[in-house]
Structure formats: C-alpha cells, structure tokens
Amino acid sequence: MFIALRRFHGVLLLAVLLAVAGIGWRFAVHDGLSSFADDSVSYLLMGQYLSPWSEGGPAVREAYAEQAYPPLLPLVLAVTGAAHSVVAAHVMVLVCLLGVCLLVYRFAAAELDSPALGLVATVLFAVSPAVWINVLGILSENLYLLLSLAVLLAEGRWRRTGGAARTGLLLGGLLGACVLTRTIGVSLVLAFCALGAHRSARGGFSAGVPWALPAAAALALVVVGHALWPGALTEHYLSIWSRVWQGLGAGEDGEWSLVAHVGPQLTALYEAWYTSWLIYWVHVTDVRYLATAGFGFLALVGLGLRARAGGIDAWYVIFYLLVLLLWPAPGQMTRFVYPILPLSVVHALYALRTLAALTPRIRRPRVVAAAGALMMALLVAPSVAFLYHRAQAPDDRRITEYYRHPDLTQARAAAAEQRAMFRDMKRIRRSTPATARVLWFTPAYIALLADRRGERLPWRGDRATYVEAVRRTQAEYVYLSRLNPRMTGDAFDGLRLLPRFRGWTRAVWVRRSAGDGAVAAVLLRVDRERLRTLP
C-alpha cells in the first residue's frame, strides 16, 4: 500500500512537472528579451564577457566593467553557452523553475510529513501568477530559489546525520553559491549564525560550533568570489548600504528616521504579497482579497511556529524579510518576495495542519490543510485565467509589461512601446558606424542589443551637464526615449531632455508613437563643430 501511494504521488508530481514544462515552453521561451525594465540584458552581457566559447565584442567588453550583479548566473550562462543564445537562456531559466518545483515538493513533503501535502504545496506554488511573471525574464530569481531550497534540504540531511564536517563544508558551498547568485542570500548565512548562537546559549559553546562551519565556509567562498570578481559588485552594494545607513541615522529634521523608512517598505511588502497571487488589487470586501489576507496571516503563524521549533527555513525567512524592510527598492518588492513564496505556502499549510491537530473534533488535520490550499488555488483561478487570456496575443504575450496593466488598452500600449524600443536598438546598429559611442540612460542595452559602445546619459541636468557628458565620453550619438529602464514610473519622460541638445546636435531619425503620433524616441548625432563653440 505504501509503495503504491509513493508511486501514485510520483506520477502526479511528474504530471505537474510536465505541465509546468509545457506551459513554460509556450509562454516564456522565445528568441528575444521580455522587457527593457529588468536586468536580463546585464546578465547576458556579463555571460558573454565570461564565455569560454565565444568572446564578446568590444562593446560588450567595455560595458562589462559597469555591471554590478552577483556572478553565478552569468557564469552559468557563460559555461552552458546560453549567453550567446537568448532561446537557450530562456530554456535554462525554465529548467531552474522545474528544479524549483521538484524541490518544493521534496521540502514540503519532508516538513509537513506528508507527500500528499507536498504535492498540494507544489501545485499551489505553480499556479501563482508570480511564478509565470518571473519566468519571462532571464533573471537570477529561479536559480537562487533552486539553490536556497537545496540548502534547506541539505541542512535537514546534515542535521539528521549529526552535523558531519564534510557535509557541513558541502552545505557551506551551497550557501556561498546562494550569496553569489543574489546578495540577499546572506540572510541564509545569518540564519545559520543565529541558530548556532541560539544552540550555544542553550547547550554550551560546543552545541553551536557545527552550525558555524557551513556559515564560515560560505563566507570564505563569498570573500574569495568577490576578490576574484573584476566587476563593480562590492562597491555597488556597499554604496547602497551606506546610503541606507545614513538615511536611517537622521532624516531631514535630524531625527531618527527608521519608522519613516520602514513604513513604505512594509506597505510595498504587503502589496507584493497580494499581487503575487491576484496580480491586481481587488476591493477589500472581495472574497479573494480576504482569502489572500487570511492565507498570509496563516503563513505568518506558521513562520512563528517553525521559528519556535528551530526550523532553519523560518529563521531564513525572518532575516530575509528584515533585509527587505531596509533595502531601498520598494518598487521591486514583488520580485523580491518571489524567492520566499514557496516557503510561505509551506508555512501556511504547516499552520493549518498544526492548528487543526489541536482541535479535538478534527481527526485528519492534513485533510484540513489540503482543503485550505485547494480553496486558495480556486480563488487564484481568476488570475490564472487572466494570464491565459492575455497570453493568447501573438505579439505581446512575451512582454512582461503586458501583464502589469489591468486595462487592456494600456497594456497593449506598454507592450508596443517595449517592442518598438527593441527595434530601435537594431536601427541604432544600422544607423551608426561600428566604432560609434552612444549615450543613453542604460549603456548595457546599447552594448548588447545595438553592438555599439554605450555611455551613461545623466537622468537630469542643464545643458552644460550634457555638453560635459558628451565631451567626457567622446560620444558621437545620443539616444533619447520616453522610457528609462531604471526609472519606469509614468512621471519620467526622457524626451523632456531634448531642448538641452538643440543647436549642437541633429536628428538622425525620429520614431513616433503608433497610438497618438507623438515623438517616442530620437537618435541625435553630435555636431562637433558646434560643440567646440559651446562654453
């Protein structure tokens, strides 16, 4: 009977994985990028620079020095050859997602002591809209999620075998790989340190020593990785944390401003939880809103129960959330929440099962947990149907921004602008000599997609600011567009800078919006003779 059940669960899991693979292939795998507003281009550029199979061009080699992203995903792209094939890169992300689903099942089945609940957790995670939005880009979230789940599973085995030193070193290698994939992986290292300190406080110094071994191995790997990594990674993150520290120390009125900083972060975190399941906000009286709030509350209850029991997964999530509350990027919170989404599902089911077991009249608490998850899946169904309906559009379905607007007209306009900008990159390549330098807000796009040397265009400033930028970089061309990949709010419009360039540049070409006919982008050529006459 037991063997038959295991085979049955295995068949169901295989069916889930095949469904994710088939849908993911149709939904996300294509020969192009999905957005100008994510980091896909930087990961591909870094991968091309590091590739042992094919050397990146001069523009890629020059742009590499400005990239400030952890190295593991670019290394994987480089070694597998996916850095030079966008289709292969998308396939690699999809393979990571399949691995994530498999490990979600393994982890949930182990922690909930039920293969059936493991399947329930896997299915509920797989139907989350956040999964499908995050598989569109060539980003590090799915690789990081795969590695972090591997750490949690390896920690359980390491703990059950008495904390063997060899296994601890291997665990430390996985921990270090997490940090070298996404810097927030340091929250996993902090969780190991916290549990080691807790065990030392309760059972003496020797009780906490085994927990220090994986953390020490991970930190050593990260230090070596950063020392060998010739990019701007360390300086980039140190500068961000320095600004955060200064901001927390004193506000404009000189008073301590922790509450002022954390408040918007909490709001963004709260919104990210809802949008991970519902995509768009619904009224607070809507049953989907209430159910999502209730499921989130259960996840917090389960988090507390797991933390009290000494679960490394709970301590990891606690430190992860603390980092998010300090990290100054509330607009990216939905993407940041994604790597702990499956753990939140497990924690909610853990809370349901535990609370049901405390109720004398409930004889089968696992059934209660499964029923709660099924109800949540049914409530998420309208969001899944929304994604399915949008994904039928042949031109727009692989553009991330197409799913970020509830209004279909706005969604189509946003997707059309993204596709037009991808065409702009090809047009820049055709319109400029191979040695040209082009100023734009994010030079990596110019380097990778237009194969021209990109230089950074200041986001704001007077005419003298841009004259100085052109002289300093020796740029021959300036590309202006409404969209700035690093400032995607509606308030920003890069074409407002156009008057700063009048009189000393001329238009090579102008692109107008297909909707209202307004100017949407322009490529300018610098007039060197007039530039010399400017102060």
pLDDT tens by residue, 360-413: 766 676 777 778 787 888 888 889 999 999 999 888 889 999 998 888 998 999
C-alpha of 274 from chain center: 17
| DSSP reduced 3-state for 530 | helix
Residue 4 has pLDDT above 60, yes or no: no
Between CA 49 and CA 339 the distance in angstroms is 27
Q: Which residues pair with 523 in a beta bridge?
A: 479, 509
d(CA 199, CA 58): 53
**pLDDT tier at 187 (50, 70, 90 boundaries)?**
very high
The first and second tokens of residue 527, run together, are: 């007039």
Task: Summarize pLDDT for 425-452 with one digit per residue, the tens.
Answer: 999 999 999 999 999 999 999 999 999 9
Contact 390, 397 (CB under 8 A): yes
The top-scoring range by mean pLDDT among 5-14, 93-102, 329-338 is: 93-102
How many residues are recorded in the chain? Answer: 535
How is the chain split among helix, strand and coil, in percent rounded to 5? Answer: 70, 5, 25
Which amino acid, 394? P
Q: List CB contacts of 369: < 8 A, sequence separation 6 or more.
A: 112, 117, 120, 349, 350, 352, 353, 356
CB 74 within 8 A of CB 43: yes
d(CA 225, CA 502): 47
- Tell which phi-psi region holds residue 245, choosing left (phi > 0), alpha (psi between -120 and 50) or beta: alpha
| Strand pairing category for 519-526 and 505-512 | antiparallel
Query: What's the CA gap between 356 and 121, in Å, rounded?
Result: 17
The answer to whether the beta carbons of residues 165 and 213 sit under 8 Å apart is yes
Q: Does 3 score more than 90 pLDDT?
A: no
pTM of the model: 0.92
